[in-house]
Structure 1
Amino acid sequence: MAEVHRPNKNRKGFYVKMKLFRTKNWKLEKPFFIRYFKWILWFSLSFYFFAKFLNNHEFGKSNLKTTIINQHPYRVLSESSLQHQKDNQGLLKDLKVYVYELPSKYNIDWLSNARCSNHLFASEVAIHKALMKSDFRTFDPTEADFFFVPVYVSCNFSTVNGFPAIGHARALLSSAVELISSELPFWNRSNGSDHVFVASHDYGACFHAMEDRAIADGIPEFMKNSIILQTFGVKYQHPCQNVENIVIPPYISPEKVESTLSKSPIDVQRDIYVFFRGKMEVHPKNVSGRFYSKRVRTEILRKYGNDRRFYLKRHRFAGYQSEIVRSVFCLCPLGWAPWSPRLVESVALGCVPVIIADGIRLPFESIVPWSEISLTVREKDVAKLGGVLDYVAATNLTAIQRNLWDHKLRQALLFHDDVETGDATWQVLVALSTKLGRSHRRSRLSSE
């Protein structure tokens, strides 16, 4: 029963007083808690199980065995969310990925250094984070097509030069494989052929920045049967890609790209004809006796350093993306390895990439029409670069820019915190869907 009480003369307004018991048609009704008991009980139990779910699946903190034991109650949650992406299912063939929840020393402990998730090798972090929240993740390993092993090996930055030091990579990865193979059955049943690693380094899973040393060290034996997501790729035989692999783009922050484009739209008038900022050695022979960039960058500096059409800078500048978005052509010469983050930045910011790296395999070549949005110049022809670019500018530059400025290309080369349709992690999943012959689950189902 509700009673309206009037305040005294010195106060304004009124208030309502509710009574727990009330009468209706001269009959005493049941108390509030009795009438709504089942609803209160249902809400309480739902809240309890939801809280328990969050606790058991907090990013990176679950014990391996606990994770396996507690899979099945949550399988329905993952599968029901997949129903909201029927188009995704058609393209990705109901792909399911199990993400190992390794002890934090293998991954998230490294995030104490903010650079770990933002430098050019950070795809290992970005893919892990996106998969953890993805609809394609399964909490039931018996239903997984692939198993993702999240180990961050590029977050140990050298105090001498500030670059990632990956000397510990083999030992850390070996330790992770020993853990998952001794505690769980999934690695041993296929010898790791349905397991996926990220090796976003100069020479992929060879884990060394110098090519001769990388080749000498080779790919660790325990990884040779698995799938490697790597930034390194060439179209000729190379020991560091003699493994099932997918070439992925280096990591560029999508937030930084969007911030740059918010200030300078992609189709703005571009006042820099040819742009390059980066290491260019006057004398390319390194103290190790090796020639940096196979002397290509040195030749660019020597030939075009005084050419007013070429905007060449040797020193670092944090805001250099603002220079890219002003440029018509962006040079992407090889460094120690063929690939470069400039490839992604150029495409994302609408500058025509000029690729100078013989035999390079580019990321997602079946999806990104590289021949329609970039130029390729052979290393030996770098002295003819000016004439090549002038010819393109006078003939088909407008058509190249029209293709390049399609936002879908920018999406395909950028990793986001969540898997977005068409983004880089999505393209990784599409590439994995072409390798379902390695899935133990699929081969088991086909034999039944």
Structure 2
Amino acid sequence: MINRRGTLCAGRWTIVVVVLLLGSFITFDSYTYRLLSTLSQSPVSLAFLTTSSSYHSDSKELQSSNASSPENVNESNPHRLQPQVAARNSNRGDPQNVNGSEQDNLKENDEKAELSQLQLTSTRRVELDLWQARAALKRIALEDNDERGEENEQLSNGDPHGKAYRNAALFRQSYMEMEDRFKIYIYQEGEEPLVHDGPCKEIYAVEGRFIQELQDRNPFVTSDPEEAHVFFLPFSVAMMVTYLYTQNSGDMSPLLKFVQDYVHLISHKYPYWNKSEGADHFMLSCHDWGPYVTRVDNNLYSKSIRVLCNANTSEGFIPYKDASLPEINLVGGEVPTVLGGFPVAARKYLAFFAGADHGPVRPYVFKHWEGKNTNVVVHRRVPVAAGLTYHEYMKSSKFCLCPGGYEVNSPRLVEAIYNDCIPVIIADKFVLPFSDVLDWSRFSLQILEADIPKLKEILEAVSEETLIELQNRVKQVRKHFLLNKPPERYDVFHMILHSVWLRRLNIRLLR
């Protein structure tokens, strides 16, 4: 076990989807739609780029927009992958490997490219930047990058690899492009506590932690909206519920009015919302009502990127444009003091769940398994007789049940991962966090709600060898769900940003 202590304040590939919007064109690029393609349970995936056929160009907006070079590029030529504008990353290309005349030519070309880029509109500069990122991902997609083995000696630096990922090489490249390019503009309008603030403890902690971390001199944030790839709406739905909602009234109109007024304010004060009709804007909420309050504005609901804990496809969650947010319960604002747990062979219980009896799924779990089997521990409260705490039960169980509560999401998903317990997800319409890059089938089980009566039979059918593999991958992906201060590469803060980055790649603004 690891000691850790700290406090933290489907479409087919030939289809091109083009949407004509009032006053501007927005193209949902079919390449990046494949990159964010719908899977069997509606997560979005990078895995569709692993075949060479997916390289074909499906739209030539930058070429046909009558803009001058270097924007006038043609993606249909597989031998012309290199953008005509010099890459920002100094690691791309070694000047020591070219002679003097070649260096002079490169310098001259770079100067011409920089001059041409300065002549572009700000929108086209941003779109060209994204084009370069797409081109880099296409290069990786064409390569033989099958690294799905459990070990890879070349990746000892902790970069993602192995079967826990849909395509680890593509994820690494996408993450690098994000680190090199991604810029976020935060609207400054609004006052705390409803805006620029959020809860930093208990079950909505990830909402406040993200807002505060992004605003704390984060390198991804820009003060120049003209260079931003996305725009963040920094209001907190959890804080609205605390300060605007009258408890037990059922009246959510104050929350709706606040969101409506905020969108109205930034759309009339700045040109950016109207330019894209909100498609390059994002909001984040871990409160169950997050999806509901976005319905007050049609563009916010149907076009903006919504990062939500309540990622329920039956309630309007759209996987190719919305992102699933993990719910992390920080009791008292403290991160868990101990991460990890016993190996599979040393775990006494087959499965464990303790929690309140609410929502559509949990009553069935209690009906079939509460007190019915000593190897499947299911209780409303943690049993005192065994002398174990909640987390000790998790560390002593092979599987941790994660049924949805009032909504599909549950903090038990992350708690299970923290304790090296294999998650058993019981929520049919739940789009799992970071499922565009993580292959949840490799480190968890998903059981249909209808199969709850057969739960023990299903779990006992998993071999010891498979259990060990699943647990090892749980350990591998744990870093993606950790809140760190300051943030660390590939942690939950950066995974959230990467989810937004992928969805921004899925959109092209043509004006």
Paired residues, number: 329
1:147 aligns with 2:219: no
1:326 aligns with 2:403: no
1:105 to 192, 202, 205: 192
Distance verdict in 2 for CA 1:432–1:392, change over 3 Å: same
| Residue of structure 1 in register with 2:115 after alignment | none
Cα distance in structure 2, aligned partners of 1:90 and 1:191: 25
Distance verdict in 2 for CA 1:106–1:173, change over 3 Å: farther
Deviation digits for residues 159-211 of structure 1 (CA, Å, limit 9, x no counterpart): 9989x99664322222222222233332233222211111323364224xxxx
Cα distance in structure 2, aligned partners of 1:355 and 1:367: 18
AA partner of residue 239 (structure 1):
G
Q: Which runs of 5+ in 1 are unaligned?
A: 1-85, 208-216, 282-291
Cα distance in structure 1, aligned partners of 2:393 and 2:221: 39
Q: CA deviation at 1:313?
A: 2.4
1:313 aligns with 2:399: no
Q: TM-score, normalised by structure 1?
A: 0.64
Alignment of 1:4-403 (within 5 A): 90-105=177-192, 107=194, 116-132=199-215, 133-155=217-239, 156-157=241-242, 168-202=254-288, 204-207=290-293, 218=295, 220-224=297-301, 225-234=303-312, 238-241=315-318, 244-253=321-330, 256-261=334-339, 265=341, 267=343, 269-280=346-357, 292-294=359-361, 296-315=362-381, 320-392=390-462, 394=464, 396-403=466-473
Cα distance in structure 2, aligned partners of 1:242 and 1:395: 33
Identity %: 26
| Residue of structure 2 in register with 1:46 after alignment | none
Q: CA deviation at 1:242?
A: 8.6
Distance verdict in 2 for CA 1:250–1:342, change over 3 Å: same
Q: CA deviation at 1:332?
A: 0.8
Cα distance in structure 2, aligned partners of 1:391 and 1:439: 43
Q: CA deviation at 1:131?
A: 1.5
Cα distance in structure 2, aligned partners of 1:298 and 1:89: 44
AA partner of residue 356 (structure 1):
I
Deviation digits for residues 143-171 of structure 1 (CA, Å, limit 9, x no counterpart): 11111111012133499989x99664322
Contact 2:204/2:329 (8 A) holds in 1: no
AA partner of residue 378 (structure 1):
L
Tell me the SS of whatever aligns to 2:400. Answer: strand
Deviation digits for residues 250-303 of structure 1 (CA, Å, limit 9, x no counterpart): 133397454032xx746494333311111136xxxxxxxxxx324x43343444
Distance verdict in 2 for CA 1:266–1:382, change over 3 Å: same
| Residue of structure 1 in register with 2:492 after alignment | 424
Contact 1:96/1:143 (8 A) holds in 2: yes
Contact 1:332/1:343 (8 A) holds in 2: yes
Q: CA deviation at 1:222?
A: 4.7
Distance verdict in 2 for CA 1:166–1:154, change over 3 Å: farther
1:435 aligns with 2:503: yes
Q: CA deviation at 1:363?
A: 0.7
Tell me the SS of whatever aligns to 1:117. Answer: coil
Q: Which runs of 5+ in 2 are unaligned?
A: 1-171
Distance verdict in 2 for CA 1:220–1:415, change over 3 Å: farther
Distance verdict in 2 for CA 1:312–1:161, change over 3 Å: farther
Cα distance in structure 2, aligned partners of 1:387 and 1:258: 32
Identify which of structures 1 and 2 has the higher relative contact order when contacts are C-alpha pairs closer than 8 Å and 6+ apart: 2
Cα distance in structure 2, aligned partners of 1:316 and 1:103: 42
What is the CA RMSD across the aligned residues, in angstroms? Answer: 3.6
Cα distance in structure 2, aligned partners of 1:310 and 1:137: 47
Larger Rg: 1
Cα distance in structure 2, aligned partners of 1:430 and 1:153: 22
Q: TM-score, normalised by structure 2?
A: 0.56
AA partner of residue 151 (structure 1):
F
Q: CA deviation at 1:230?
A: 1.1
